[in-house]
Every structure is written in C-alpha cells, then in structure tokens.
Amino acid sequence: MKRGFWDKLPSPIIGISPMDGVTDAPFRLITAKHGSPHVTITEFTSVEGICHGSVKALIAFKFDNIERPIVAQVYGIDVESFYKSAFVVAELGFDGIDINMGCPATSVSSRGAGAGLIRTPDLAKQIIRTTKQALKDWSEGKKIEDVDLPKEIVAWVKEHQPQNIERHLLPVSVKTRIGYSEITVEEWVKHLLEEEPANICIHGRTLKQMYTGSANWEAIGSAAKIIKQTKTTVMGNGDIHSMPEALEKIKTYGVDGALIGRAAFGNPWLLKNLTPTIEEKFAVAVEHAELYEKILGADYFVPMRKHLAWYIRGFSNASELRQKLMQAKSSQEVKDILSVETLQNVTPVI
C-alpha cells in the first residue's frame, strides 16, 4: 500500500469536508490561511466530464501550495475515465486522489456514481484498482498525451501544471457513507479494504437520509474497528460543530481524524478553535471576495454571495448587512458595505 503524505500527517487528522459548490479554490485558500487544516480536498469533479473535454470542470482543480497536502476528489462510474483522469490529477501536482462514493445527490447517485456505488461493490473496487494502476503507470513515466484525453484538457493541464513535477506514486483514498438505504457500512468497508485505499472517510448518514436526521457515529465507530485492523486510516464526518466536539468524537469512536463540514461555513477560524472579532470577520469576508475575483474571475460574482452571508452573523444589524451583500456584484462593493463606518455601528449579540 502506498500511503504517501497520509503517513506524515499530525494525529488526529483534521480537515474540511469537500462540498460541492462550497470548497472551491478561494474557500480552500481562505481556510488554509486562517484555519490550517491538516489535509485539503477539492470539490468533486466528474471523470466523465474531464474525458468529454469539459475544461470548465477543471476550475475545481486550481490550488495554491499553501493548501498542501491537497487531494483532488473525483466521481463517476466509467472505469476508463477514472484511469485517464488520474493522469490529469497527477500532472497538476496534487498530493493524492480521493474517490467520491458518498454524494447523495439524485443527479449523481441515480446513475450509480457517488453513494450509488455502495450498491455495486465490484464496480467500486474496480474503480479504486484502476485509479491506482493509472497512478502507478504515471509514476513510471507514462505521459498524459498517451491516454487519449481531449486535446483541450491536455492543453489546460500543461498550462496550469507546476514546473519540475517529480513522478512518484500518489495515494488513493475514498469518501463514503454508512449505507445506501440502510446501514451496511461494516460489510461495505470490507469490500473497500480489499483494494487497500490509503484512507477511508465515512459520513455518518445513509444515502437515503441525504443530510437530514443525525449522523450515526456509532456506525462510523463500528466500521473504524474493522479498518483499524489494516494499514488504512479512517476518518469520520457528520454533525461536528466545533474543534472540541471533533476531538471528542475522534476519541470516543476510535477514528484517526475527522472532516468538518457545514460548521466551517464562514468560519475558517474553527479549525484553530478561535472566536473571531467582528472586525476579523469583516476583513476576511473582504479578503475572500477579492480572492474569488482573482482566482475565478470578476464576471460572475453570484456564487460568492452565499459565503458572504455565512460571515455575517452574531452581531446587531447582521440581517440588514446580509441583504445588502446579497446584491453585491464585486469585491469593491463588499468592501464598501463592510466599511469602517459600518463596523463602528455594530455590536456583538450575546
């Protein structure tokens, strides 16, 4: 088993859960600067999209070295596309690749991808095995030009890849759930372990639950006992609201670490167990908006607005400010709204 950077991480391992539409490049960079997660994982990207020439999908793979170790998360069902996409990940300089087997979205799971793979363990194992083979082939010198990717994808990778990439075998990990419609996680992880992934992260809900109800950490703990008998590390995910709670769950349920999800929205300081001042919230909200424009462009600012709303809470006039920010079209407008004068007129809500 090639574990790569996973063997060098602090214990316990703390990171941010990859979330579609949230953990884009600006969000990850802000979190890395102000929260310092032990591992960073991108939004998931479709391997079929990559292999069909979707250059737009590769925007999720933009990253800064401050985010290292950084893992590219991919999803899909086409085995050959996983093979080809692994070359994209390797050429872009990522530290590992994570296969999403946990997304419950109907658009993903209904075609058998994401958490849909829980119902097809043989296919899931083939995907892991094929991805590992691709990374082995790449480490031994096979070129991205040799795997029949669309020329526009190869061109984008060449334009964005770091200089002097050292070819070495990258680790493969998996993020999944405790089951499809019912809890089957003990049987499910035994299948995954046959292919020796470096790490398995388990979200404590079934696909059927989506994000409703409570995360079942007892089920995560049961799976952890099985995984801990191997060289694979295991992380838990679901309903973690603070660092003390993360550490308590890690200890109680015997996992090697945890990924924190929604609690980190607008709160990169959570990973350092710090409570920011209103001034710090304003400053980082502006910084985030500026990074959004720098990394993703200034033409379409709408996706940034939800992040702004997450920063603006916990003080007087927060609702009024959020309404203004939901109309902002640029980082300069954000800066104007969250001005020194505005700061002087708000007080913490106790």
Residues with catalytic annotation? 103
Label residue 162 exposed, middle or buried (CB < 10 Å: 0-12, 13-18, 19+).
exposed
Q: How far is residue 5's CA from residue 96's CA, in Å, rounded to a whole number? A: 8
**What CA–CA distance (Å, rounded) separates 261 from 343?**
28
SS3 content of the chain, % helix, strand, coil (to 5): 50, 15, 35
- Which residues on neighbouring strands pair with residue 74, listed in sequence order? 45, 99
Distance of alpha carbon 71 from alpha carbon 172, whole angstroms: 9
Strand order across the beta sheet in which 40-46 lies: 13-16, 257-260, 233-237, 199-206, 172-179, 96-101, 70-75, 40-46
Residues 6 or more apart whose CB falls under 8 angstroms from that of 341 comprise none
Rounded Cα distance between 69 and 337, Å, is: 35
Phi-psi region of 2 (alpha: psi -120 to 50; beta: other; left: phi over 0): beta
DSSP letter string, 298-343: SS--HHHHHHHHHHS-SBTTHHHHHHHHTT--SHHHHHHHT-HHHH
Residue partners of 124: CB distance under 8 A and separation at least 6: 101, 117, 118, 191, 192
Q: Could you tell me where the DSSP H helices lie in 92-227?
A: 106-109, 121-139, 151-160, 185-193, 217-227
Which residues neighbour 66 within 8 Å (Cβ) at sequence distance 6 or greater?
Answer: 29, 32, 33
Amino acid occupying residue 194: E
Contact assessment for residue 59 and residue 49, using Cβ atoms and an 8 Å cutoff: no
